[in-house]
Structure 1
Amino acid sequence: MWLKQQYRSCRNLAFRGISVPDDLAGLSDIDPHEVSASEQGIAQQDIDALWGHAESIFESGMHPMVSMCVRRGGDVLLNRAIGYADGATHTQPRLASLETPVCLFSASKAVSAMLIHKLAEDGLIDLLNPISHYIPAFAVEGKAQITVHQLLSHRAGVPGIPDDVPIDLLFDHSAALELVCKQPGLHKDGRVLAYHAITGGFIQAELIRVVTGKTLNEYLDEVIRKPMGMKYFRYGLDSKDHAEVARNYSTGLPNLAVVDRQLVKILGVSVSEVVDISNTDAFLSAEIASANLYSTAEEASRFFQMLLQGGEWQGKRIFTPLTVNRAVREMGKPQFDRSLVMPMRYSAGMMLGMNPVGLYGPKTHYAFGHLGFSNIICWADPERDIAVSILTTGKPVIGNHLLSFAKLLNGISSTLKPCVDMEYIYSQVL
């Protein structure tokens, strides 16, 4: 026991991890309404094994809180949380629960994209029209022909925020929008693929404002949050809910200089600064379409379950099946992304899975969803008929959690095997 404690102390020091007790009893919150795995033809021990991988991620010390929700065929097979919502480095931390909201960071983009697709569904915009048709100021610096569809697929040509811009600008929608509009585009025809970590969200929010007269949260409430009965699931939170939010933590090995420079290029500031900012009242209160939607794991899984069901939730039509199809349809073969410096496969708003292995594990060609900073993953896989969300609050780039995370994704793919003939589905007319 002494050796184990010494090892953990050295590991936590090296990886900037939190201290984790040997006994995890009392640190988990488990949904009593989880459906027996046998109802889906799956061994319960296999589902418990998935949670075991999630517990290992927590035990690594890299993530003070881990929450996870897995649906199969609409049934909630697993909905659990473990760890600390706040005070992870204090003697009396606040325990996490199923009702603890977590910032989705970039996974917010999947929701924002669907709001833009809803505008198109209702005939308020045409995705093939230039952004400048709705926001004339965007036309400058070679961006006049960039379309809304290219914005959704990270080809708008304005992927980053200049280094000399104060981060407080993100909390001022008008100023941030003006900055994005003034930036020169990477290519006038939108041929350059470069992930837009922050910038695209300000354009999306402005599109909503211009054509509906509503704020981002007002439109979200109308289209998704209220019809689907979400408690949180909004960009920023009311001040009364700030005390419930899970705190984010800087963990993991210090980043190599070359990695840190690339992350600053993508995020606008360093990782530690992002974490500090994310815990401020200003960030908690802001509406940032690309970065600060707050949700529980169950709510995030619920959203993707609705998309799996062709845009329907409990008898309510949220999106038409055609709208969902447009939003998750592959834009082309994997292509090198200049921001993420790796091959990526996108739809108009989603990050797509790949074969033989992709963002959502092995053999996930049909999966769609989005990653969030860092180790937040929300997705649906129609071939497996699953909707999954994994929410975490540590922000490591490199840490000793990576093997456990890989085991979790691999376990989901291997345990929840393909059960839908996608060739048949794709052959049908919507």
Structure 2
Amino acid sequence: MTTDITRPVGHPETGAGAVQGFVAPGFEAVSRQLAHIVAGDDGYSAQFCAYTDGKKVIDIWGGPDAEEDSIQGVFSATKGVAAVCVALLLQRELLLLDKPMSHYWPEFAQGGKASVTVRTALSHRAGVPGIEPQITQDQLMDHEYMAARLAAQTPHWYPGAAHGYHGLTIGTLMDELVRRVDGRTVDRFFREEIGDPRGIDVFIATPEDQEPRVRDVLPQRPTPEQAAAMKGSPLRQDGDTLSGMAFNKAVTDPLAELMPNVRRYRAAGQSSAGGVGSARGLARLYASCISEVDGMSRLLSPETVATVSQIHAAGPDMVLGLPTRFGIVFQKPDPDRLRWGSHTSFGHDGAGGAIGVADPWHSLAYGYVPRRMSVPGGADERGMDLARTLRQCLAEQRA
């Protein structure tokens, strides 16, 4: 882990071992900021890792529940991992964005979807963010069942007329496309083509031998004010609404255990939200997309990056009830919510607060994984603040 550009860091003023790891000279402000966050919240722990120009410059962890080598559920940050697989198939011209989905998956033509293109489906515009009747968690983990139900579903809006976060179904869309054009499941494709050869500490389906490293995601700890504010969120609505339907509120037990904390869910390879990993793994994955890393050529060409990171959908989100921006699967930054990098950046956050981002404009990539679920959910403000400090340090280095 150590190299000639890194050195150990520690901040004893926040308690022995509160922040540990390595940081390159000139980036100490990031570790100081993490130490400050840890000192101000005894329930906070996190990992943060970053690369610039393909070289690891920060690899730190802090807080009472943070560990160097632990991995945990990253929820929808899994989508970005699977999206890299899709991007690689696009780069190899095995998948074409403007072909109908039914060209690769004939059954998808049902329900008036014959003309829906891969581009439309993978930019959250296909109108199938959920399935009716709604599905259980066990059904969500059954890919064959999900693919059949999704293929038969009539869109909830005219495809292309609007966009809305396909929070659970886009994983099925990606996995089925990978299976149809490559023959492997998306989790196997990732491990064999990307994860294992490049030493990336992220798993769409967690192997049994990695289970000893897995730590449970800790539940949210909102203040009374935060809890009251969250009650109005579209994601808290019942199953009668479009948002509620998309997240199966009519059949989901709100007291059920968090899915990434359940072994059979981690093993299922559900590429919308079932992945497990570390900040180190997310950072290395996104760095590999835009840079040479450790002598290995960059994974995606500049042309492929430009294609998948181009904004395809922007504006009011039919599911989330707030403005969102998407490329091909990947989220794009916006000034109000995802302030995680330059306009060229792309990545994905998760409900627990995890973030994985590549920023070609600054030639940097980073991963952030908090141990406890963030409030209200999605990209954790503290992770985005660490990334902002990272960019400031980089600007000073290059001035």
| Shorter-normalised TM range | 0.7 to 0.9
Count how many residue pairs are aligned between Structure 1 and Structure 2.
Answer: 373
Query: Which of 33, 46, 49 is 2:32 aligned to?
Result: 49
SS in structure 2 opposite 1:369?
strand
More moved, 157-166 vs 386-395:
157-166
**2:49 aligned with 1:69, yes or no?**
yes
In structure 1, what is the Cα distance between the partners aligned to 2:276 and 2:55? 23
Say if 2:207 and 2:267, in contact at 8 Å, map to a contact too: yes
Q: How much has 1:196 moved relative to structure 2?
A: 0.8
Q: How much has 1:279 moved relative to structure 2?
A: 1.1
Amino acid corresponding to residue 25 of structure 2 in structure 1: S
Counterpart for residue 338 of structure 2: 359
**2:227 aligned with 1:244, yes or no?**
no
Q: How much has 1:119 moved relative to structure 2?
A: 1.8
Counterpart for residue 146 of structure 2: 176
Matches within 5 A, 1:61-100: 61=43, 63=44, 65-83=45-63, 96-100=66-70
Q: CA RMSD in A?
A: 3.0
Counterpart for residue 196 of structure 1: 166
Amino acid corresponding to residue 285 of structure 2 in structure 1: F
Query: Which of 374, 379, 399 is 2:357 aligned to?
Result: 379
TM-score by length of 2: 0.83
Cα offsets for 1:322-367 (capped at 9, x unmatched): 22221112326x3111112111222112111235x55134x73222
Q: How much has 1:297 moved relative to structure 2?
A: 0.9
Cα offsets for 1:339-397 (capped at 9, x unmatched): 12111222112111235x55134x73222111111221111222332211111232243
SS in structure 2 opposite 1:221?
helix
Counterpart for residue 21 of structure 2: 30
Counterpart for residue 330 of structure 1: 311
Say if 2:353 and 2:380, in contact at 8 Å, map to a contact too: no
SS in structure 2 opposite 1:397?
coil
Say if 1:354 and 1:366, in contact at 8 Å, map to a contact too: no
**2:131 aligned with 1:140, yes or no?**
no
SS in structure 2 opposite 1:335?
strand
Seen in structure 2, the aligned counterparts of structure 1 residues 348 and 411 have a Cα distance that, compared at 3 Å, is same
Matches within 5 A, 1:287-302: 287-302=269-284
In structure 2, what is the Cα distance between the partners aligned to 1:200 and 1:344? 16
In structure 2, what is the Cα distance between the partners aligned to 1:252 and 1:271? 19
Counterpart for residue 428 of structure 1: none
Counterpart for residue 320 of structure 1: 301
Matches within 5 A, 1:109-258: 109-162=79-132, 164-230=134-200, 232-253=201-222, 254=227, 256-258=230-232
In structure 1, what is the Cα distance between the partners aligned to 2:257 and 2:19? 24
In structure 2, what is the Cα distance between the partners aligned to 1:418 and 1:349? 33
**2:264 aligned with 1:282, yes or no?**
yes
Seen in structure 2, the aligned counterparts of structure 1 residues 314 and 130 have a Cα distance that, compared at 3 Å, is same
Amino acid corresponding to residue 293 of structure 1 in structure 2: G
Amino acid corresponding to residue 258 of structure 1 in structure 2: G
Cα offsets for 1:170-209 (capped at 9, x unmatched): 2211111122222221334422200111101112111111
Seen in structure 2, the aligned counterparts of structure 1 residues 123 and 242 have a Cα distance that, compared at 3 Å, is same
Cα offsets for 1:219-245 (capped at 9, x unmatched): 112321122123x42212122322311
**Sequence identity percentage:** 24
Say if 2:311 and 2:332, in contact at 8 Å, map to a contact too: yes
In structure 2, what is the Cα distance between the partners aligned to 1:403 and 1:305? 22
Amino acid corresponding to residue 390 of structure 1 in structure 2: Y
Q: How much has 1:25 moved relative to structure 2?
A: 1.8
Unaligned runs of at least 5 residues, structure 2: 1-12
More moved, 335-344 vs 72-81:
72-81
Query: Which of 101, 106, 121 is 2:76 aligned to?
Result: 106
Seen in structure 2, the aligned counterparts of structure 1 residues 418 and 318 have a Cα distance that, compared at 3 Å, is same
Amino acid corresponding to residue 322 of structure 2 in structure 1: M
In structure 1, what is the Cα distance between the partners aligned to 2:245 and 2:398? 40
